[in-house]
Amino acid sequence: MPELPEVETVMRGLDGHLTGRRIVRATLRRADIRWPVPPELPRMLTGATVRGFRRRGKFMLMRLDNGWSMLIHLGMSGRMLLDKPESAHEHLTIETEDGGRVGFVDPRRFGMLDLVCTAAEDNHRLLAGMGPEPLGNEFSGDYLAAIAKGRSAPIKAVLLDQRVVAGIGNIYASEALFRAGISPLRAAGKISRPRFEALAQAVRATLVEAIAAGGSSLRDYVQPSGELGYFQHAWKVYGREGEACERCPGPPACEGIRRVVQSGRGTFYCAKTQR
C-alpha cells in the first residue's frame, strides 16, 4: 500500500496539474470501489474549480471552490494518471477546460473515493482520530516518549498505528528504526527519551528523502506522470533479508538482515546493530 511519501508525491503531481483549473466533465464508471462512491460525485466535480490539495496521512483531499473536497485513498493498487489514454479499471475520469485529463485506476479496488465538506474534513470517519503528521511540529521525541510510556507493544507496531502518527507504513517504519538503531521488536515503553528523539529525527529524514526520490515503486505504485519512484534503491533493510547491512559485514561474521513477521507484516532489521 502506498505510504506517506508515495501519497505526497501523487498529491504534488495532481496539485501542479489541476489546481486553478475548472473541471468540465467527471465520469464515474463504477458505483463502488472498496465502498460505495457517492452517486453525486460527478455532479459535484463538474463545473467546479480546483482550489488545491491537502494530504492527511495516506489520504488526499482535492478541494473545490464549491465548498466540497474529494477524499482519495489509493488502496493497494490505485493510481492517479495524468493525460493518459483511458485504461482498464479506470473508475473515475476528470477532464479540465484546458484539455487536461486525470484517471483514477484501481485494478484491485481497495482504493476509495468520497465527498466531504471542506470545512469539516477532519471530522470524516476515516480521518477523525488520526495522530499528528510525522513532518509536522507536533511530532517529536517528547511526543513519542509520552505516547509510549507504559506500553508493552513493539515499537514498530506503535509507529504503524495511525492514531499515534499518520502516514507511516511498513517500509518506512523498518527504514527509520534501522537508522535510529532501535530494534522493531523492542517494547515501546522500554525505550529511553534520547532514543525517541533519534527515532523522530530518523522518521523525518527517511520520509523527506523518500519524497525527494518520488517514493518507492513496489508492485503497482507509479507517480501521476507514470514514472516510477526511486527510493527503493536506497532501502537499507526493507526487502534485503540475508544481506549485510551497511554497518556490519554480514555472514559469517553476523547473520545479516533478518525478516520476521509482526502483525502479519514482514519486518526487516539488523539484529546486531538494532537494540
> 45, 92, 82, 40: which is closest to 65 by C-alpha?
45
Are the C-beta atoms of 186 and 152 separated by less than 8 Å?
Answer: no
Are the C-beta atoms of 203 and 131 separated by less than 8 Å?
Answer: no
Are the C-beta atoms of 167 and 208 separated by less than 8 Å?
Answer: no
Rounded to whole angstroms, the Cα distance separating 25 from 97 reads: 9
Catalytic-residue membership of 3: yes
Per annotation, catalytic residue among 5, 55, 56, 58: 58
Q: For cell 526520490, what's the residue?
A: 213
Rounded to whole angstroms, the Cα distance separating 30 from 37 reads: 8
**Cell numbers found for residue 29:** 464508471
Task: List, in sequence order, every beta strand (DSSP E) within the chain.
Answer: 23-28, 50-56, 59-64, 68-73, 79-82, 90-96, 101-105, 112-117, 257-262, 265-270
> 105, 116, 126: which is closest to 44 by C-alpha?
116
Per annotation, catalytic residue among 3, 6, 90, 95: 3
Per annotation, catalytic residue among 2, 134, 154, 184: 2
Rounded to whole angstroms, the Cα distance separating 125 from 121 reads: 9
Per annotation, catalytic residue among 30, 101, 109, 265: 265
Show which residues are catalytic: 2-3, 58, 265
